[in-house]
Structure 1
């Protein structure tokens, strides 16, 4: 049976190497791409300040644009996540919720609550790892249920796991054409809010613009300079430089605008040459 699915974006705000979104598309007749903007959660648990708010909103706007190019859209629904899900699962006759598996305690608690809600309302829940290079639960399992406390032990565990999984293929318009897209009126109703809508200061904006598009461009700029890549040594960076002597990609990995597996295998190919 094909599902009517809410795909819940959390920290994989991208379309490249997004295994759970690909699985959602392959198993659904209708797909609602949703980001729940729970301001209380983001402020209290995630400790998001003005700069990160701007980065997040820019990332959501970029994701909405990229989804639009493939025939879909992003629905940003404001409110407490469990209340939002309960209301819209019933309103849209949802039979499946898909989401990226995360390691932080508050995200794991969120997933557990969604699974309890699924048992109550009768929908399935699918989560897959895509935000980290390895499945962190596998690392814990191989170390007796505890995190490795030394770098040497950590490397030993990784040697048992082998190479990370390769990135999944890029999504196409054909993938989205197989699923019914949200009604265009929903996109207007649940648009990405502007900073002024959330009363977020527009002073001291960062030159690092959020989003998958910007992240991929920055990644490409660094990796085309293969001499810089092969000669890079972390202790020899300049901490007070106006421009970073490292890649400057950390915020894009943190928000999931860039895939760490894509980065890993692109670097591996360069080192192998």
Structure 2
């Protein structure tokens, strides 16, 4: 039998990799390949932070393959053309890959599958990214869920319980390998060292993902239900970039959590709370599959009439938000954390998004684009769900008229101001009472920190008035 191309995409691991298992089961040489084809993902080609992570993840995968007597063949160009070239060079008779569900990628993959089949090439695609793929869970009427809680009930009832497949000790390769290019040739890292602070808490690659999971289970899962809302504490799993790039799979995480539960010393509500959060990731992919227009368009069509700001100060306010110079300490702390680390605490993501869309009345799509370019865990499904949820125009959205008060949120979840002081050092000397809203105390705000660019009370009322006009126009 002829060789099989194993087409890696965002499944950059050897453990519990269904496409790898399928390729090995053929009993023929396996040729791992990675095809860099960002143009096929337009208009949502990976952003700068994602590309930086991808550089390190591909390097780690190549090293893992080398330890098993294999190698990663890296090519750049249109995926179908590149795969056909590799098939011609190697006489491969099959291609195996794991499915992705972003609209542009799914459409591209369908074209590739049909084209290769017409060439007489055996193809197989598999699920490595989700517990249950879109289409496997439906409402009683057969349609997609638009509310999370019933979706989670349906998903939780069918969580996978099959054992996780270990990484193979050896991967048989061909007698003669096709040529590839170095990962560095892809120029994924930024031209300036903007990403130098990204990797203190992480090590991209499968080994780093597993270590991150073990640390979370051993140190942070107990008490997760409360700690995950406090941005100054390391109470989140921080598995999101590892899951996005497929360095670890959700079945592996589920199995590890269930084993921790079986140990008997883990509060049930902490484990279930964490699994429920992973359920939101599944829900996001479910929604994106059924509503592929939502990265750019509101799921709630009434929001097409939302009177977003179009005044001349719009761009200046957006830039102040992006740079962490709004004068609202918790917001500025979050935006600076994002720029410096490629990540932001989930509670703070909601706070900064609410300020942008509600208080500043800047369209949610502009915030989503900024996150897309600056988050190492930028995921089209989750990013879309999160921004539409806060803006009030998506599935299971918060009431559209709900507006986070960033001062109250800061006082509640960062009471001692530790998170603010870390990321906004200009305010480090302020007493706890002043650090959340320095403008409210006479002579408290330092001269090198800006005054608020928006009045929170007045802008809240402006947003409520805008929602009222939207409903009238709709």
TM-score range, shorter chain: 0.7 to 0.9
Structure with bigger strand share is: 1
Larger Rg: 2
> Equivalent residue for 2:74?
76
Change (3 A) 1:88 1:194: closer
Which piece of structure 1 moves more, 248-257 or 47-56? 47-56
Structure 2: how far apart are the matches of 1:47 and 1:190?
Answer: 21
1:106 CA displacement: 1.9
Q: Alignment RMSD, CA only?
A: 2.3
Give the aligned partner of residue 260 of structure 1. Answer: 250
TM-score under structure 1 length normalisation:
0.85
Match of 2:90 in 1: 92
Q: For residues 237 and 152 of structure 1, what CA distance do their matches in structure 2 show? A: 20
What are the ranges of 5 or more consecutive residues in structure 2 without an aligned counterpart? 265-474
Q: Where does residue 51 of structure 1 map in the other structure?
A: 49
Question: Which residue is 2:105 aligned to?
Answer: 107
Greater shift in the superposed pair: 199-208 or 97-106: 199-208
Q: Is the 8 A contact 2:14 2:168 kept in 1?
A: no
Map Cα deviations across residues 9-40 of structure 1 (whole Å, 9 max, x no partner): 11110011111211111114121101101132
User: Are 1:30 and 1:180, in contact at CA under 8 Å, matched by a contact in 2?
Assistant: yes
Structure having greater relative contact order (Cα 8 Å, sep ≥ 6)? 1
In 2, Cα distance between equivalents of 1:230 and 1:61:
33
> Cα distance 1:214–1:170, how it changes in 2: closer, same or farther (>3 A)?
same
Matched residues in 2 for 1:73 and 1:157: separation?
Answer: 41
Is this contact kept in 2: 1:19–1:168, CA < 8 A? no
TM-aligned CA deviation for residue 119 of structure 1: 2.2
Q: 1:193 matched to which residue of 2? A: 184
Counterpart mapping for 1:1-273 below 5 A: 2-41=1-40, 44-140=42-138, 144-158=141-155, 162-174=158-170, 176=171, 179-181=172-174, 183=176, 186=179, 189-193=180-184, 197=187, 200-205=190-195, 206-207=198-199, 208-225=202-219, 228-233=220-225, 236-239=228-231, 241=232, 244-272=234-262, 273=264
Aligned length: 259
Q: After superposition, what is the alpha-carbon deviation per residue over 1:219-265, rounded to whole angstroms, capped at 9, x for unaligned?
A: 1112223xx313211575223x3x64201110110111111111111
SS in 2 for 1:97: strand
The gaps in structure 1 that reach 5 residues or longer are: none
1:45 shift after superposition: 4.0
How far did residue 4 of structure 1 move? 1.6
After superposition, give the CA deviation of every residue in 1:84-143 in whole Å (9 maximum; x if it has no partner): 112221221121110002222122112211111122211011011111122323114x65
1:192–1:167 Cα change, 3 Å: farther
| Contact 1:164/1:261 (<8 A) preserved | yes
